[in-house]
Structure formats: C-alpha cells, structure tokens
A and B are shown apart, each in its own frame.
Chain A
Amino acid sequence: MNTRHTWLIALIPAAMLLRPPFAQGQGRGGPPQPPKAAAPIDLTGYWFSIVTEDWRYRMVTPTKGDYQAVPMTADARKVADGWDPAADEAAGNQCKSYGAAAIVRVPGRVHITWQDDKTLRLEFDAGTQTRLFRFDASPAGDASWQGDSVAQWERPGGRGAAGRGGPADAPPPKGGSLKVVTKNMRAGYLRKNGVPYSENAVLTEYFDVAPQRNGDQLLVVTAIVEDSRYLTQSFVVSSQFRKQADAKGWDPTPCSATW
C-alpha cells in the first residue's frame, strides 16, 4: 500500500473507538463480558419516585374496597374485602404490600448498585427492602417477599426491532433495557388495601433509562403481573423515577400495614 495512505489504516480503528462504549459488549467474538461490563445502560445510583399516577392509591393508604382499575377475579375480591391491616401487623405480615410486585409503586427511593459482576442490587428505603437481580439463574430458595429475579439485558435488535440489516458482526446499536422476571414470591398485595397477588404470580419488568432535555435522567419501570388466580388479565403499570446525585432524602423506614 502506498505509504501516503497509511493514515487510513490508523483512522479506521480510531473510528471504531468513537462508537458508543456500550456497543462493545457481547457478540463481538471472544468470551462474553460479564453483565456488569456489558451493561448497555447505567442503572446505578439513587433514584426517587415521581408519583403522578394512582396518587390516591400510593400516597395515602387507600380505603377498603377501592379497587379501581385492577382486573381482579372474584376470588381476589373476596380476599381484598377481608383485608385487615391490624391482623396483618399482628401476624408479622406488614410487608405484604412491599413485595416485588408492588415495591416499585411505593413512593420512596431506590439505590441500585452492582453487588458483583452478575448481580444488581436494589435497595428500597420504603419498607427497607432489597431485591437482587441475578444474571445467572440461581436455584430457587424459599419463597420471599422479593422472590427470585432473573435478569437479562435487552439490546436494540431483539424482538420488535426492524429495519437494520447490515453485517452479522455489526456493532449493536446504543441503548437497551433490563428485563427481569421474578417468581417464587410470597403472596402479597398489589395495593396497600389488600388487592392480592398469589404465590404463583409471575412478575416481568423492564427497566429503561430516559435522558431528558434538561439533563435529568429518568428511569421507567414497566411491570407486568400475571396471576391467573387473582387477575383476569395481565396487570400492567409503569412507574417513573428521577436520578439524584447523592443519597439525600434516603430514609429507610420499616414496613407498615396501615400506612
């Protein structure tokens, strides 16, 4: 090659470096990177709830019998009609409305960190709850409020994507989502006033980061609860959080069945 063009050889790898950093994850040959290193989005940090929806069901304890918009079965209604928060407290079940299927709806803060290369840790100050999102499926233990969560990154190009084409080893486009499927939960409440989900419920969540024009970072969590015993159809809600720079306002509080 003409030495006048050797700069081109240097330019091409340099250009590759200009690609979005998260594009250099899995599928590029060689051993796959651990989930932490391959993360297409950064979920870590402190996030606080923005409660602009279902305000009456989230910011105060809703009244008994207020089931607006929840696709409940007749069995669910019977259970909810018998809601007794004092009995829950007495039985040590004050965390029933802080389980995995509901905790994201509880106003408060969530602190997300990497526990290790394969596990995301979500700590919630409301109810002092912790969820672990494992990227390697681990054997299920006893049922718990937060259940067992299996996580995977979703990148552009998965289901629903279209119109890209290009070489098979083309770098993945930027961005992506976290998909989490949670099972093995203890039976709990979707809403504080006793709207139930059963121990067989399956929770699927998508975590998406949304940068805003004003520089804010928002987190959107779309949650789908499936429970043939207590729901006539999938229950779908989406919750939003804003990122904050530090732990200001972090206020761990115990579960309460009455407030």
Chain B
Amino acid sequence: MSIVKPFRTGVVLLVITAATSAAASAQTELSGTWAAITHEDGLERGAGPYAVDYTGLPLNDEGRARALSYSASQFGVIEHQCGFWPPHYLVMGPFGMKIWNQTDPVTGKTIAWTIGSWEDRGLTTIWMDRRPHPSKNALHLRGGFTTGEWDGNTLVAYTTHMKAGAIRRNGAPSSDEETMTMRFIRHGDLITVLAAVEDPVYLSEPYIITKSFRLNPDAAPMSPVGPPCIPTYEGTAEGSVPHILPGENPSIDELTTLYHIPRKAVLGGAETMYAEYRKTMKDAFVRPEKCPANCGAPAPPPPPPPQGAPPAPPPPGRGAATAPRPDNPQSLSHVDAAKKLAGTDPWLLSPYNFYCVAGGARANNANAPELEPVRLFDNVYAVGNSEATVYAITTSRGVILIDSGYADRVETVVIPGLKKVGLDPANVKYILLGHGHADHFGGAQYFQEHYGTKVGTTAADWDLIYPANPPATQANSNQSKPKRDLVLAEGQPVRLGDVTITPIAIPGHTPGSLAFIFPVKDGRRTHMAGLFGGTILTADRITTAGLKQYVQSIGHYLEDAKRLKVDVELQNHPIFDMTPDRLARLKTRKAGEPHPFMTGTDRYVKFWSVVSECIQAEVARRGSE
C-alpha cells in the first residue's frame, strides 16, 4: 500500500474537520452560582400561584381535570413529603442555580454540565458526550435524563425520562411522558433559560417559558446539593388521600372574584397564550378598582439575594399559596378583635399585619442574613440566622441551646457565634428543639458528636425526624439528624444547674412542637421568657383541622404563660415581633431604660391572642370546606 493513501485519508479528515469545527467549537462558560431574577411571574416564582390559575397554560381537558382535583395537602402525606419537582422546576420555580462542568480526566473535555439540586429540585446532569437517551421503557428519574449540545454560544439540553409532577406549583400536572428542551442563552452576567415543554398527556401544545438568572461572582457559592427539604406536617389524617372531587374545587372562581378574569381564561388552554384571546375578553372585562391581594411589596425590595435564591423563597411545604379567601362576618369579627387587641401598639400591630393582613405572612428565609451574635440577657444569648435563631441559656452547670440551626452552618455560624459571645461550645449540655424540622435540629448532630451534647424533643417529633416509613427522598437524604437522646414532654421540666425550663406542648405546626418558659436575668431583676417554638408562619398552607389545633395550643400555652407570668417574648423565627428593631434598641440601651424584649405579661398574652384571632379569622373564612 502506498503511503499516499493514508495521507489522503488524513487530509480528507482534516478538511472535513475544518469545515465543521466552527459549529462544534463554540461554547460558553456557564459555571457558577446564578441568582434567580423574579421580575416576571413574581407570585408563581415566589410565594406560589393561586390555587386555580392556569392562565397561559396549554392544558388539555385531561390536564385541566387533573389540575382541578389537586389538593396541596397531598404534600402533608408522609409518602409525598419532600417529593422532588421535575427538572422544569428550574424555570417555573423560585430558586437560583449552581452549574458546573465535569471533565474527562484525560482529554480535559467537558463530558457533562451539572445543575445542582436545590431543596426540592433534583440534580440534572446534561451529558455532552453524545450518549443516546435510554429506551423509553427505562427507569424514569427525578432529574430525568438529559443530553446536550452547543448551538453556537447556546447550550441546548434535551430531557426525557422524567417522573410525573406538576407544571405549575398549583398542581397543574405534568406526566412522565413529558419531554423538555432547554436553551441556556448567556449574555454577560445574565443567562436566559428558554424551556419548551411537550407533554402528550396533559398539554395540547408545547409550553414555552423563559427565566433569567444573574451571575454574582461576589456571592457565596450555592451548595451543589442545596438545603435539605423540611417535611411539613399538616394534620392530614392517616389513611386519607387529599384531593378535590370534580366540580367541587372551592378556588375555581378566586381569580374571577379578585381580578375579574373570566373563569374560562382561568382554566387555561392553548388559546389563552395568544394575543387573539385578549380580544375575546375586551368587551366583558371590567378592571377592579384596586388591587385586592398580592400587590407587591410596599417597600422597595432588597437587593438581589446572595446565594442564588430569590428574595423570598416559598414557605416550607409545597404547592401553591392559596389565594386569600373572601371574608365573612365571622372572619371579620376575628380580624376586628385582633385589631382591637393590637390597638396602636406597634409591637402588637406587628403580628396583626403579619397574619391578619392579606399578603403579610411569609415563611422564614433560609438566605436571610446571619444574626450578629448578641447577649440578650445576662444569661441568654442569640446566635445563628436572623430568621432561624438559636438561643443559648447559661446555667451554673453548662449551657442549654434552644434549637441548633441549619446543618450546613453549625461550624460556620453557630459555633463561631457562641465563641464570639464568650461561650464554649463544648460546654453545651442540652439542645432542646422547638420542633422537629431541619432548620431547628440541623446542627444538633454536630454537637452530639463533638461535645457529647444531649438532644431532646417530644416523642412525636422524634417520629417526625425518624418516620417509620420515610419517603424515598428522605431515606437517603443528606439531612444531618441527631440521634434520639431525650424525650421531652409537658409536665417534665428540664433542669440544669440553677435553671429550670418548662416545656409546654403546642401541637399544630408539628405534632410535637414545644414552647419553653424559662427565667432570664437583667441585672438584679429576673423575668420569665416565653419562646413559642412551633410557630405557623404561613397559615394558608395548613389544613383547617391543623389551624384549629394550633388555636387550641395557643390558648393552652397562654394559660401557662399567665400562670408563670411570662413577660419576655422570644421567637426562633423572629420575623413578626419586631426583633430587628428591638435588637437595635438593645444595642443603644442606657442604664435605667427598660429592656426592649420585656413586654409585660399582659402585652405578651395580647400578642399571642392577636395571632390566635388572625388564625381564627382564616378558619372562619374557610367555613365548612
């Protein structure tokens, strides 16, 4: 064989490569932490959409029927807790994204791009090595199966093999036959992700949606796995399957009532995506005089969040924020009662505005600033996050913590915080949990392992932390769980040295939530602090039975608070009690001035009575539903 032949072959390959390399070589750097920009679909990508709002969704009849049968309480059932959303949640959900590439260790070529999981969105790997998609009969995964290729500077990703889920956070369904094409279009520090979702089962046309993200190189990088999902107990009775029967969805006319949007439009369909549909509504539409609900923050919003999440992430638990229900005489009487209790007292108006005013309530923000460690009283310190706070109570025989904060911040925030205020973490003898959610127990395991700290919560919440039949997503989750040390119960005070802490059972937020009453010292004076450790922040997501139980718990707790003369108010989610303002006043407090956290027993009781009245108003709005 002549040497010309291989030479010729080589040249031909070279030429072909030269001819096609332009398309193959174009790529864009995507790695980094990208913050979600939520200037469009603010409600959908923030607190969650109205329970029945399918506007602009190309649902077919089957999809619509399925959507109307949805109850958000499905996620209160143990089997569904912490279930993940399909990958399209990246564009319709609230969170930012962390992307990184995986390279071949030999060639250095990118073989995959990975979009990290975040809370309830699974990890998505975009394979770039031209591997084929699996057989249609292959296992469907939470993250689906995704391949990608470059189209110029745009990464095009195609996803199949997803699990069934929802296409909107109010239960509008997606099937396991869904496929999705995403295009990642980068311009400077912006990425716009275009998603085209096709679903032969529930959609009559592709659902086209975009979402933009901003790269913030100065922000702390997002965790590649995200925080653990926090299970939410909603009081769902064992054996029941939350659902809504055909023709009985109580929210079907909410958008019509609130915004005068025709019911036909509310129920969606491909035609509602196009300008022609606008014309069909023109003659009949009467614009409401003023915005009835979810009108946007009255104050300027905060700057873009540092960790890729939106300014206000959705509450723990899943699904849509139920639209404000219309008031009735009974609900209005409770709102009036709350208003009277609050009077003109700014501190009492704080829970009123939070719970009684539509749109006022929100969940704690996991990305809120960390708290500046502070000595609140002579024997009480506050550390951790400004919206998930850890309290340290010093005794003659060591330190007791109420809660332990997030697992990923115990070493970076809680321990340094304790040291900063002069406390030795090794001296923490007990951690008492307000309730069994991960933003409260997350750091406890670390204390157990490093300092021999004993951790306590109620039997019910130990069962919540270690469910008998955990959902698959929890069974192998990355949650850092403390081992079961102490079982707390009302009537069994916790004593350490010279301090006695009285636990009070307050079921509602979780079945085993606890309040703690304990003495605090301010100079020569001793007061009694009350820490209500199981606050429901977003009542709209809790079942009516759960809210009724919560109201009973507040009443029960206040009996003890009055008896023990609680006159200091503390919160582990201090977002509705003017804690920032009180901390500022504490900082500049002069000798002889009253302690800003001292409320007096009467005001303390009023404070929780305001909360109770607002919750009862919500119960009354629901009527017999």
A residues sitting closer than 8 Å to B (CB atoms) are 4-5, 8, 11-12, 15-16, 18-20, 23, 40, 48-56, 59-74, 77, 107-109, 126, 154, 156-157, 159-164, 166, 170-177, 179, 206, 208, 210-214, 216, 218, 220, 222, 224, 232-233, 235-240, 242, 249, 258-259
State whether B287 touches A220 (Cβ < 8 A): no
State whether A11 touches B15 (Cβ < 8 A): yes
Q: 27 A-B residue contacts at CB 8 Å?
A: A12-B15, A12-B18, A18-B20, A20-B22, A50-B273, A51-B275, A54-B41, A56-B55, A56-B255, A63-B289, A63-B290, A65-B291, A66-B291, A67-B296, A160-B29, A161-B153, A162-B28, A163-B27, A163-B29, A164-B25, A175-B153, A176-B153, A210-B154, A218-B196, A218-B208, A236-B39, A237-B39
State whether A64 touches B291 (Cβ < 8 A): yes
Task: Tell whether B395 is near chain A: CB-to-CB under 8 Å.
Answer: no
Task: Tell whether B61 is near chain A: CB-to-CB under 8 Å.
Answer: no
- Residues from chain A with a CB closer than 8 A to the CB of B151 are 174-175, 211
Instruction: Tell me the minimal C-beta distance from A58 to chain B in angstroms.
Output: 8
Q: A59-B281, A64-B291, A66-B291 are in contact. Are A52 and B29 (CB under 8 A)?
A: no
Tell me the bound Cα distance from A115 to B295 in angstroms. 42
State whether A220 touches B19 (Cβ < 8 A): no
Instruction: Tell me the minimal C-beta distance from A89 to chain B in angstroms.
Output: 14
- Residues from chain A with a CB closer than 8 A to the CB of B301 are 71, 232-233
Task: Tell whether B418 is near chain A: CB-to-CB under 8 Å.
Answer: no
Task: Tell whether B211 is near chain A: CB-to-CB under 8 Å.
Answer: yes
- Residues from chain B with a CB closer than 8 A to the CB of A171 are 22
- Residues from chain A with a CB closer than 8 A to the CB of B208 are 50, 52, 218, 240, 242
| Most chain B C-beta atoms within 10 Å of own C-beta, residue among A11, A156, A212, A224 | A156
Instruction: Specify which of B28, B42, B211, B291 is in contact with A238 (CB 8 Å cutoff).
Output: B211
Provide the B150-165 mask, 1 if CB < 8 A to any CB of A, else 0. 0111100010000000
Smallest CB-CB separation from B285: which chain A residue? A60
State whether B272 touches A208 (Cβ < 8 A): no
B residues sitting closer than 8 Å to A (CB atoms) are 4, 8, 11-12, 15-16, 18-23, 25-29, 37-43, 46, 55-57, 151-154, 158, 181, 183, 185-188, 190, 192, 194, 196, 198, 206-212, 214, 255, 259-261, 265, 272-278, 281-282, 285, 287-292, 294-296, 298, 300-301, 303-304
16 further interface pairs, Cβ-Cβ under 8 Å (given A52-B273, A160-B29, A162-B28): A4-B4, A18-B20, A53-B56, A53-B209, A63-B292, A107-B278, A156-B153, A160-B188, A164-B26, A166-B25, A170-B22, A173-B153, A206-B192, A232-B300, A237-B212, A238-B210
- Residues from chain B with a CB closer than 8 A to the CB of A73 are 300
- Residues from chain B with a CB closer than 8 A to the CB of A240 are 194, 208-210
The 4 A-B residue pairs whose C-beta atoms are closest, nearest first, are A175-B152, A69-B42, A173-B26, A67-B296
Instruction: Tell me the minimal C-beta distance from B433 to chain A in angstroms.
Output: 36
Tell me the bound Cα distance from A56 to B44 in angstroms. 11
Question: What secondary structure prevails in chain B residues at the interface with A?
Answer: mixed
State whether A238 touches B40 (Cβ < 8 A): yes
- Residues from chain B with a CB closer than 8 A to the CB of A220 are 183, 185, 192, 194, 210
Instruction: Tell me the minimal C-beta distance from B157 to chain A in angstroms.
Output: 12
Instruction: Tell me the minimal C-beta distance from B563 to chain A in angstroms.
Output: 45
Smallest CB-CB separation from B296: which chain A residue? A67
Tell me the bound Cα distance from A211 to B41 in angstroms. 24
Instruction: Specify which of A53, A163, A172, A216 is in contact with B40 (CB 8 Å cutoff).
Output: A53
State whether A48 touches B274 (Cβ < 8 A): yes
Instruction: Specify which of A108, A160, A162, A206 is in contact with B275 (CB 8 Å cutoff).
Output: A108
- Residues from chain A with a CB closer than 8 A to the CB of B186 are 160
Tell me the bound Cα distance from A4 to B153 in angstroms. 40
State whether B39 touches A222 (Cβ < 8 A): no
State whether A59 touches B265 (Cβ < 8 A): yes
Instruction: Specify which of B15, B16, B274 is in contact with A49 (CB 8 Å cutoff).
Output: B274
- Residues from chain A with a CB closer than 8 A to the CB of B21 are 166
State whether A54 touches B22 (Cβ < 8 A): no
State whether B55 touches A55 (Cβ < 8 A): yes
State whether B190 touches A222 (Cβ < 8 A): yes
Smallest CB-CB separation from B189: which chain A residue? A160
Instruction: Tell me the minimal C-beta distance from A39 to chain B in angstroms.
Output: 13
- Residues from chain A with a CB closer than 8 A to the CB of B265 are 59
State whether A18 touches B19 (Cβ < 8 A): yes
State whether B26 touches A60 (Cβ < 8 A): no
State whether B38 touches A249 (Cβ < 8 A): no
